[in-house]
């Protein structure tokens, strides 16, 4: 069975160079992600489907140091023993800052300002045995690293609850 995206109309699929599917307001030109009926800036309902930039820079990030409760249902990281992962906000130039899981980052964390690009990743296997895929951002090695260093060294995230 071919893999299935986590949601319809979320990212281009199948695609070797995936893009997120957003919206652009026909009245005020504001971008939106995900695509929804009303414009977040002016409230107009003339929002048109548009593809977002594939590449951007890391605006901020954190580690996910505990296994989230439902509705989280990912199987991309080990639950026992728990393996932390990174999440962040990627700035797509001139468009939006998008929240995302981050993959392929250095073990001690990514750096604010790093170039990032969109990829898809295996997310879980559903009840019917189908592979579900979702989007993530990863450091973009094709572009020069302009990232700043973190303010001070960090200890790698450990597993547990707040």
Partner 1 sequence: MPDVAIIGTGIHRFGRFPGKPALSIAAEAARDALADAGLTWADMQFAVGGSYEVDQPDAVVAELGLTGVQFTNVYNGCATAGSALALARQTIGQGEHEIGLILGVDKHDPGAFTAEPEDYACPPWYGEMGLFLTPKFFGMKINRYMHDHGITHETLAAVAEKNYRNGALNPNAHRRTPLPAEKILGARMVNYPLTQYMFCSPNEGAAALVVCSADVAHRYTDKPVYLRSVATRTRRYGAFEVHTPSASVAADHVPAPTVDAARAAFEAAGVDPADVAIAQLQDTDAGAEVIHLAEVGLCADGEQNELIASGATEIGGRLPVNTDGGLIANGEPVGASGLRQVRELVLQMRGRAGERQVPGEPRVGVAQLYGAPGVAAVSVLST
Cα dihedral 14, 16, 17, 21 in deg (nearest 10): 10
**Interface residue with partner 1, options 4, 44, 46, 159 (CB under 8 A):** 159
Which residues in the 116-145 window bind partner 1 by CB under 8 A? 123, 134
Under 8 Å between Cβ of 19 and 51: yes
* Cα distances (Å, whole numbers) of residue 106 to 26, 122, 144, 160: 40, 20, 16, 21
Which residues in the 9-68 window bind partner 1 by CB under 8 A? 10, 22, 30-34, 40-41, 59-66, 68
Q: Which is nearer to partner 1, 68 or 129 (CB)?
A: 68
**Interface residue with partner 1, options 12, 24, 102, 109 (CB under 8 A):** 109
CA–CA distance, 57 with 18 (Å, rounded to integer): 17
In the complex, least distance from residue 140 CB atom to partner 1, rounded to whole angstroms:
18
Strands of 47-51's sheet, edge to edge?
31-32, 21-25, 47-51
Q: Does 7 bind partner 1 (CB under 8 A)?
A: yes
**Interface residue with partner 1, options 21, 47, 101, 105 (CB under 8 A):** 101
CA–CA distance, 4 with 48 (Å, rounded to integer): 24
- Other CB atoms closer than 10 Å to residue 44's CB: what's the count? 14
Residue ranges that bind partner 1, judged by CB under 8 A: 6-7, 10, 22, 30-34, 40-41, 59-66, 68-74, 84, 87-89, 91-101, 109, 112, 123, 134, 148, 151-152, 154-162
């Amino acid at each position: 069975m071919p893999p299935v995206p986590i949601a319809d109309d979320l990212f281009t699929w199948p695609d070797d160079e995936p893009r997120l599917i957003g919206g652009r307001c026909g009245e005020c030109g504001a971008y939106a992600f995900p695509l929804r009926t009303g414009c977040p800036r002016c409230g107009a309902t003339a929002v048109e489907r548009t593809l977002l930039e594939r590449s951007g820079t890391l605006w901020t990030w954190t580690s996910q140091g505990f296994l989230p409760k439902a509705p989280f249902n990912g199987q991309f990281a080990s639950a026992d023993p728990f393996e932390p992962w990174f999440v962040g906000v990627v700035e797509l130039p001139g468009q939006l800052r998008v929240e995302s899981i981050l993959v392929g980052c250095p073990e001690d964390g990514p750096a604010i300002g790093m170039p990032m690009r969109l990829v898809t990743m295996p997310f879980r296997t559903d009840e019917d045995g189908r592979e579900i895929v979702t989007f993530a951002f990863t450091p973009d090695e094709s572009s020069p690293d302009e990232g700043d260093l973190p303010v001070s060294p960090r200890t790698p995230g450990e597993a547990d609850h707040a």
